[in-house]
Structure 1
């Protein structure tokens, strides 16, 4: 989100949509959405204002209100924009076509809240702080970002269990939750090498859940 720069001057809304039926300008919508995402990081939801968003986007406040009923609706659209963009960054290989260890590692990697957006942890903290005042925000994040990622780990483990690659008695729910939580623990402990956290987590978990102990590689045993 920090890649959003400040604009100068107001953008003319001639091609934009209004509630009267004129076609909307997707490019202008994206400018507003990206300015909103930047403000969420800098100010948090409560302190963020439509006026600041309008200034950053180079549009007028009426231009925003012709598109969104208010700050909550705009924020939800801004979050959905990020969720879709994150999905587009995932590598192409189908997880079921990878080796068991590779598939599990990739699923854990995709659980990372910062996979697409390095400011995701800051945003999550803001939304958790809004739980009492605006619970809808955290609910959107949980529904659209948290649960799909964690359930992906669960599905991969369940598939590996069905194929006999991992033990039949593993608790996929708890393992997936631990994988997700590891990113928050690493963030709070200021771990420097969070980019390889998925591999480190899997290296710890895999020996305990694999159907049979992994054989050491020749490099590992000196062969």
Structure 2
């Protein structure tokens, strides 16, 4: 898992990874139990066993804290080499769906998305801390497929970047919609059919 360094970090004593982990875990637990509206920095501090000032040395407020708590979950996603582009896609989509079905991930993600509809700085933080970070999976998968000869190389960096954005939007959007909006299962059959449809576009 990649370490998270909130943008509000200040110079001074070295950060404690154990303290950060305890705070982010406490945040996710509090979200599940209390919901967004009732969650407070004080409650998170109590659950994590730290002073409230410790939180504010790391995060400016609840919005930043909750986004980082969600981002840490998404950093768990990996793209193991399963031998083919289709198998790689199916593997990461199943991982993603399983993550979204975890109560702490589902509650936290829905909360920050809802709050961001009227909070542009929060929306930007979601983009930079979650969306942009997870595009690494698309870049890694596409590079691996190109090395295998499954996808053509793209010579224009701008075109390659736009393609990566589109792949991410399609894959992530489909899984989030089916899991959190439609509340339908993302099982192996659905993932297989979705992957076949996605590959039609990629290889067309």
Report the TM-score when normalising by structure 1.
0.59
Residue segments in structure 2 that go unaligned for 5+ positions in a row: 1-9, 154-161
Q: Which residue of 1 aligns with 2:159?
A: none
Q: Distance in 1 between matches of 2:58 and 2:144?
A: 43
SS at match of 1:190: coil
Q: Which residue of the other structure, out of 115, 120, 124, is the alignment partner of 1:135?
A: 120
Q: Between 38-47 and 120-129, report the one with greater CA deviation.
A: 38-47
Partner of 1:199: 192
Q: CA RMSD in A?
A: 4.0
Do the aligned partners of residues 166 and 130 (structure 1) sit closer, same or farther apart at CA in structure 2, a change above 3 Å counting?
Answer: same
Choose the corresponding residue for 1:189, options 182, 191, 195. Answer: 182
SS of residue in 2 equivalent to 1:48: coil
Q: After TM superposition, where is structure 1 displaced by more than 6 Å over at least 4 residues in a row? A: none
Q: CA 1:205–1:40 in 2, change beyond 3 Å: closer, same or farther? A: same
| 1:115 maps to 2:99 | yes
Q: 1:66 & 1:160 partners in 2: Cα distance?
A: 43
Deviation at 1:131, TM superposition (A): 1.9
Structure with higher helix content: 2
Give the gaps of 5 or more residues in structure 1.
1-18, 213-223
Greater RCO, 1 or 2 (C-alpha within 8 Å, sep 6+): 2
Aligned length: 183
Q: Which of structures 1 and 2 has the bigger CA Rg?
A: 1
Are the structure 2 counterparts of residues 156 and 135 from structure 1 closer, same or farther at C-alpha, using a change threshold of 3 Å? Answer: same
2:27 is equivalent to residue 36 of structure 1: yes
| Paired residues of 1:166 and 1:209 also in contact (CA < 8 A) | no
Query: What is the TM-score when the length of structure 2 is the normalising length?
Result: 0.63
Q: Report the CA distance between 1:35 and its aligned residue.
A: 0.7
Distance 1:64 1:34 in 2: 13
